[in-house]
């Protein structure tokens, strides 16, 4: 796998419970306060594996934002977890003639 293909995951806790859980789970050096992301805003991020992101998502009691970075690129907010449901295709009934 090339460096360009490697993905680094980050989580920004939005409440105290999530932050405390990440602090217990991850080493202190993974905390990156004031990190500037692609849109120029600062965020307090925890660097982690995708497995931790998946566990946080499946639990339901944690509130957080997900970010990622490919290779040495910029950190961006990850929005693919918030997919909108597509409307189901509907068929029009044509009355018999």
At residue 28, the pLDDT reads 95
Tens place of pLDDT per residue across the chain (97 aa): 555 678 999 999 999 999 999 999 999 999 999 999 999 999 999 999 999 999 998 888 899 999 999 999 999 998 876 555 667 777 777 777 7
DSSP 30-72: GEEEEEE-TTS-EEEEEEE-HHHHHHHHHHSS--EEEEEEETT
At residue 3, the pLDDT reads 59
What does the chain come to in residues? 97
**Phi/psi-derived region of residue 60, left when phi > 0, alpha when psi is between -120 and 50, beta in every other case:** left
At residue 46, the pLDDT reads 97
At residue 19, the pLDDT reads 95
Q: Which residues of 9-39 are buried (b: 16+ CB within 10 A; e: fewer)?
A: bbbbbeeeebbebbeeebeeebeeeebebee
Query: For the chain, what are the domain ranges?
Result: 7-76
At residue 94, the pLDDT reads 75
């Amino acid at each position: 796998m090339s460096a360009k293909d490697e993905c680094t995951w980050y989580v920004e806790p939005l409440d105290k419970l999530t932050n405390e859980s990440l602090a217990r789970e991850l080493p202190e050096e993974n905390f990156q306060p004031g990190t500037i992301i692609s849109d120029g805003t600062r965020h307090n991020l925890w660097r982690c594996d995708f497995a931790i992101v998946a566990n946080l998502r499946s639990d339901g009691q944690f509130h957080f934002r997900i970010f990622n970075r490919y290779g040495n690129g910029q950190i961006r907010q990850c929005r693919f977890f918030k997919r909108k449901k597509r409307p189901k295709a509907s068929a029009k009934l044509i009355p018999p003639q």
